[in-house]
C-alpha cells in the first residue's frame, strides 16, 4: 500500500494534487481496488510447477515459486504500461544503446555510497563532476566541487541548502538571527523547489508569471528580493513551455541591486534539462559560471544527459560556495568518506552510464543529438501552428520542448490529450502557472529517439483526432461543447 493513498496514481504540482489520466473514464482508483480480487490467476502452464492456480495479490505467497513463473506474472502485468517511446510527457531518457544497458547491468549491484569498496566507480563520478564543471565554465585551476544525486530534485535541494547555510552564516556574522529566509523563483518552477522550502523552513517567494512571458524576469526577481533572500532560482528550460529564463539579465539586475546598497543575492541555475542542451547548441548563451553571481548549477543526467533514470548532478562554482559543515565525513566499511547527499545507498550503474555517454558522444555527439531534437521540435511546432485549431504558447530560445493551446474550437486541450491516448501517445494537458492559469496547454517533449519519422506519425494522428473532435463538437452534434474539466498528465 502506498505511503499515502491519496498520492498513489496522482501527481503533485505547486503543492496541489491534480487527477492524472489514470483517474479518467474507469472510475476512481479506490473503486477499482475495491472491485479487484484478492488473488491473481496463474496460467495452467505455470500452475503445474507452482502447485496452485492462484496467488495472493496483496500479501506474500505462502511458498516460493520458479523464477520463470514470477517473471511471467510480472511481465504480463507490465504490458499494461504505456509505450515509453511514445510518452511525449516525460523528459526522462527512454532509449540508450545496448552497450550502455549492458554496462548498467554489470554495475547494478554496486553501491554508489561505498566508495572504499568501489573506488573506480567513485573515480568515474569524480571525472563526471569535473567534466560538467568545465562544460559550465567553472575554474579549471582546482578540483571541481560537486556530486552525483538520484536526480535533479535532490540536486536542487542540495543547492538550496548551500544557499541557505551561506546566507545564515552572513546574517549571524552581522549579529542578525538569520531565522526568516526566503527564496525567490518564478511560479513556473518544478515542484521540488516548493518541497525544499517546505521541508527546510524557507519562505517560497513564487513570482507570478505572465501575461507577456511565462517565466521569471530580471525586474520581477529583483522586486521580490530583500535582506532575507538566500538566493534566486533561474530555470534553464521551463517544464511548462521549454523556455530559458534570462539568467544573465537576472544576474545583472542583482549586481545593480547590490551595487546600490541592496542585498548581495546569489543565483542557483536549475538546469535540469537546459544545462545539457545549451552548452552544445547555444554555446554563446551566458548562463553558467561565466556569470560571477551564479553559485551552483544542477542537471538531470537522466534527461538530456541521455541516461536512464535516475541520476542527477550538482556543481558549485568553487569549494567556497559549499559550506564545510554541510559535508559529513563518515566511517563506512573500512574507510573515511566525505558525503553530501539526502540519500545514502544507491546504485552506481547510472554514474557508469553517464561516463559512458561522455566518452561515447563527446562534444560533437551531444551537439548532434541535441540539435536533432531541436530540429524535430522546430519542424513539429511549425506544422502544428499552421493548423487553424492550435496556437503556439512557447516563444523564444529553449530546450526542445513546446506548448500549444486550442483556439476557436468546441473542444479543449484535455479532449485532445484523451483522444491521442487512443493512438498510444501520452501528451500532457494542464493549466499554465500562477498569472496565466486561465490558459491550458498541451506540451510536447522531443527527446533523443523521437525521430522526424515518429514526429510525422504523431502529426498524422493529431490531425486525425482533431478532425474527429471538430466533427463531434460541431453544432447539432451530441457533444457540441467539448469537455472542460482539468485533467492533467503533467510530468517533469
pLDDT in tens, 309-330: 999 999 999 999 999 989 887 6
pLDDT score of 234 more than 90: yes
Verify that 56 and 117 share a domain, yes or no.
no
pLDDT at site 21? 39
Quick one: pLDDT band at residue 36, thresholds 50, 70, 90?
low
**pLDDT tens sequence across 51-75:** 778 889 999 998 899 898 899 999 9
pLDDT score of 1 more than 90: no
Q: What is the DSSP string of 122-148?
A: HHHHHHHHHHHHHHTT--SSS--EEEE
* CA 272 – CA 313 distance, rounded (Å): 9
Q: Which domain holds residue 29?
A: 1-34
* CA 231 – CA 246 distance, rounded (Å): 16
Verify that 9 and 49 share a domain, yes or no.
no
**In a 3-state reduction of DSSP, which class is residue 392?**
strand
Q: Identify how many contiguous H helices and E strands the chain contains and give both numbers.
A: 13, 17
CA distances to 274, 296, 380, 382, 384 from 403, in Å = 16, 28, 11, 12, 10
Verify that 268 and 243 share a domain, yes or no.
yes
Verify that 200 and 144 share a domain, yes or no.
yes
pLDDT at site 35? 55
* CA 389 – CA 465 distance, rounded (Å): 12
pLDDT score of 49 more than 80: no
Verify that 30 and 41 share a domain, yes or no.
no
Q: Minimal CA–CA distance to 282: which of 151, 371, 363, 213?
A: 371
CATH number of 328's domain: 3.40.640.10
Q: Retrieve residue 245's grid coordinates.
A: 529564463
**pLDDT tens sequence across 431-483:** 999 889 899 999 999 999 999 999 999 999 999 999 999 999 876 544 434 44
- CA atoms 453, 457, 458, 460: torsion sign: positive
Q: Retrieve residue 76's grid coordinates.
A: 504480463
Q: How far apart are the first and last CA of the chain?
A: 24
Residue with C-alpha cell 521541508?
199
* CA 284 – CA 252 distance, rounded (Å): 17
pLDDT at site 33? 52
Angle, CA 66 vertex, CA 61 and CA 71 arms, to 5°: 85
**pLDDT tens sequence across 141-200:** 788 999 999 999 999 999 999 999 999 999 999 999 999 999 999 999 999 999 999 999
How far is CA 430 from its chain centroid? 16
- CB neighbours of 363 closer than 8 A, spacing ≥ 6? 280
Task: Determine, yes or no, domain membership for 236.
Answer: yes
Verify that 140 and 4 share a domain, yes or no.
no
Quick one: pLDDT band at residue 15, thresholds 50, 70, 90?
very low
Is the backbone of residue 476 left (phi > 0), alpha (psi -120 to 50) or beta?
Answer: left
Beta bridge partner(s), residue 109: none
CATH number of 450's domain: 3.90.1150.160
Verify that 243 and 391 share a domain, yes or no.
no
Q: Express as a percent the part of the chain with pLDDT over 90.
A: 71
pLDDT score of 18 more than 70: no
Lowest mean pLDDT among 47-51, 53-57, 336-340: 336-340
Q: How many CA atoms lie within 13 A of 63 on its CB side?
A: 8
Q: Which tops the pLDDT comparison, 45 or 8?
A: 45
pLDDT at site 41? 85
* CA 89 – CA 84 distance, rounded (Å): 10
Task: Determine, yes or no, domain membership for 491.
Answer: no
* CA 60 – CA 359 distance, rounded (Å): 44
Is the backbone of residue 261 left (phi > 0), alpha (psi -120 to 50) or beta?
Answer: left
Residue with C-alpha cell 553517464?
354
- CB neighbours of 188 closer than 8 A, spacing ≥ 6? 209, 214, 215, 216, 235, 238, 239, 240, 432, 433
Average of per-residue pLDDT values in the chain = 88
What total number of domains does the chain contain?
Answer: 4
Domain boundary residue among 15, 50, 81? 81
pLDDT score of 407 more than 70: yes
Mean pLDDT of 347-373: 97
pLDDT at site 315? 97
Residue with C-alpha cell 492456480?
53
pTM of the model: 0.88
Task: Determine, yes or no, domain membership for 268.
Answer: yes
pLDDT at site 11? 37
Residue with C-alpha cell 551552483?
296
Verify that 118 and 51 share a domain, yes or no.
no
Q: Express as a percent the part of the chain with pLDDT over 70.
A: 87
Domain boundary residue among 357, 390, 418? 357
pLDDT at site 331? 63
Beta bridge partner(s), residue 146: 315
pLDDT score of 111 more than 90: no
Verify that 49 and 110 share a domain, yes or no.
no
Amino acid at each position: 500500500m502506498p505511503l499515502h493513498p491519496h498520492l498513489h496514481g496522482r501527481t503533485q504540482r505547486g503543492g496541489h494534487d491534480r487527477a492524472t489520466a489514470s483517474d479518467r473514464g474507469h472510475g476512481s482508483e479506490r473503486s477499482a481496488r475495491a472491485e479487484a480480487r484478492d488473488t491473481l490467476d496463474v496460467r495452467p502452464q505455470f500452475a503445474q510447477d507452482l502447485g496452485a492456480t492462484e496467488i495472493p495479490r496483496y500479501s506474500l505467497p505462502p511458498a516460493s515459486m520458479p523464477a520463470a513463473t514470477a517473471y511471467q506474472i510480472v511481465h504480463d502485468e507490465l504490458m499494461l504500461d504505456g509505450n515509453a517511446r511514445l510518452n511525449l510527457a516525460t523528459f526522462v531518457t527512454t532509449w540508450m544503446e545496448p552497450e550502455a544497458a549492458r554496462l548498467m547491468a554489470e554495475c547494478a549491484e554496486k553501491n554508489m555510497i561505498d566508495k572504499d569498496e568501489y573506488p573506480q566507480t567513485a573515480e568515474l563520478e569524480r571525472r563526471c563532476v569535473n567534466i560538467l564543471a568545465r562544460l559550465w565554465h567553472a575554474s579549471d585551476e582546482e578540483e571541481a566541487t560537486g556530486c552525483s544525486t538520484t536526480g535533479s530534485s535532490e540536486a536542487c535541494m542540495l543547492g538550496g541548502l548551500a544557499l541557505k547555510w551561506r546566507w545564515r552564516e552572513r546574517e549571524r556574522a552581522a549579529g542578525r538571527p538569520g531565522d526568516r529566509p526566503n527564496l525567490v523563483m518564478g511560479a513556473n518552477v518544478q515542484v521540488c523547489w516548493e518541497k525544499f522550502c517546505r521541508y527546510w523552513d524557507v519562505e517560497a517567494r513564487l513570482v507570478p508569471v505572465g501575461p507577456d512571458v511565462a517565466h521569471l524576469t530580471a525586474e520581477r526577481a529583483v522586486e521580490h528580493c530583500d535582506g532575507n533572500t538566500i538566493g534566486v532560482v533561474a530555470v534553464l528550460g521551463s517544464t511548462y513551455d521549454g523556455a530559458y529564463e534570462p539568467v544573465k539579465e537576472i544576474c545583472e539586475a542583482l549586481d545593480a541591486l547590490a551595487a546600490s546598497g541592496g542585498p548581495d543575492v546569489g543565483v542557483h541555475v536549475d538546469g535540469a534539462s537546459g544545462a545539457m542542451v545549451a552548452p552544445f547548441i547555444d554555446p554563446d548563451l551566458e548562463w553558467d559560471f561565466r556569470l560571477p553571481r551564479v553559485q551552483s548549477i544542477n542537471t538531470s543526467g537522466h534527461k538530456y544527459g541521455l541516461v536512464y533514470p535516475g541520476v542527477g548532478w550538482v556543481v558549485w562554482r568553487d569549494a567556497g560556495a559549499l559550506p564545510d559543515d554541510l559535508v559529513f565525513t563518515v566511517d563506512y566499511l573500512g574507510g573515511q568518506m566525505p558525503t553530501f547527499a539526502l540519500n545514502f545507498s544507491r546504485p552506481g550503474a547510472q554514474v557508469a552510464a553517464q561516463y559512458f555517454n561522455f566518452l561515447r558522444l563527446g562534444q560533437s555527439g551531444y551537439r548532434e543529438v541535441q540539435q536533432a531534437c531541436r530540429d524535430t521540435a522546430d519542424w513539429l511546432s511549425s506544422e502544428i501552428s499552421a493548423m487553424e485549431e492550435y496556437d503556439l504558447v512557447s516563444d523564444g530560445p529553449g530546450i526542445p520542448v513546446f506548448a500549444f493551446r486550442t483556439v476557436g474550437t468546441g473542444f479543449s486541450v484535455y479532449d485532445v490529450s484523451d483522444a491521442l491516448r487512443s493512438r498510444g501517445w501520452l501528451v500532457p494537458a494542464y493549466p499554465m502557472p500562477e498569472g496565466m492559469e486561465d490558459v491550458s496547454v498541451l506540451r510536447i517533449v522531443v527527446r533523443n529517439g523521437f525521430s522526424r519519422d515518429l514526429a510525422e506519425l504523431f502529426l498524422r494522428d493529431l490531425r486525425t483526432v482533431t478532425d474527429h473532435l471538430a466533427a463531434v463538437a460541431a453544432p447539432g452534434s451530441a457533444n457540441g461543447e467539448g469537455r472542460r474539466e482539468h485533467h492533467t498528465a503533467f510530468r517533469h
